[in-house]
Amino acid sequence: MSGTSVEEIKKHVRTYILVFVALMALTIVTVAVSYLHLSVGWAIAVALFIATIKGSLVAGFFMHLISEKKLIYATLILTFVFFIALMILPTSGYLDKVVK
C-alpha cells in the first residue's frame, strides 16, 4: 500500500464506510435468523454462511487482501487447507463407522 496517493486513500475510506454498513446489516440479519428457530442443520449453515461473508469483507477490505501480493495468498491457501483438515478431523469417527 506504500506509494498510494491521497485520492486513492479517500476512495478506500468510502469503501470502508460501505463495508462497515454491510457488516452491521449482516450482524442484524444473523441475530434475526436465530429467532426463526430453524432446524439445527439449517441454522448452522445459514449462520456460518453469513459469518463467512462478514469475515471475507473484513479480510478483503480492512486487511487489504483484495489487492495483496501472491506470497501472502500462497501462505493463506496453505493455512486454509490445514484449517479445513482440522475441521474434518472431528468427523473421522463417521469415516471408520465407529459412530452409527
Partner 1 sequence: MQIPYTVSLRPDTGLFNAKLGVWLFLASEVMLFGALFSSYVFLRVAAPEWPHGYDLLNVPLALLNTIVLISSSVTMVMSWASLMMKDFVKYKRYMGLTILCGLIFLVVKAFEYGEKFAVGITPADSTFMAIYFTLTGLHGLHVVGGIIVNTYFWGPGSKMWKREPERFTNRVEVAGLYWHFVDLVWIFLFPVLYLL
Contact set with partner 1 (CB under 8 A): 1-2, 4, 6, 9-10, 12-13, 16-17, 19-20, 23-24, 27, 30-31, 33-34, 40, 43-44, 47-48, 50-51, 54-55, 58-59, 61-63, 69-72, 75-76, 78-79, 82-83, 86-87, 89-91, 93, 99
For the bound state, the minimum distance from the C-beta of residue 70 to partner 1, rounded and expressed in Å, comes to: 8
> Shortest distance, CB of residue 97 to partner 1, whole angstroms?
14
Closest CA to 57 of 10, 92, 22: 22
Which of 64, 83, 65, 81 shows the shortest CA–CA distance to 73? Answer: 65
Q: Report the nearest approach of partner 1 to the CB of residue 100 (Å).
A: 12
Give the H or E element holding residue 61: none
Count of alpha carbons within 13 angstroms of residue 37, beta-carbon side = 0
Residue 26 grid coordinates: 449482516
Nearest approach, Cβ of residue 14 and partner 1 (Å):
11
Which grid coordinates belong to 88? 474434518
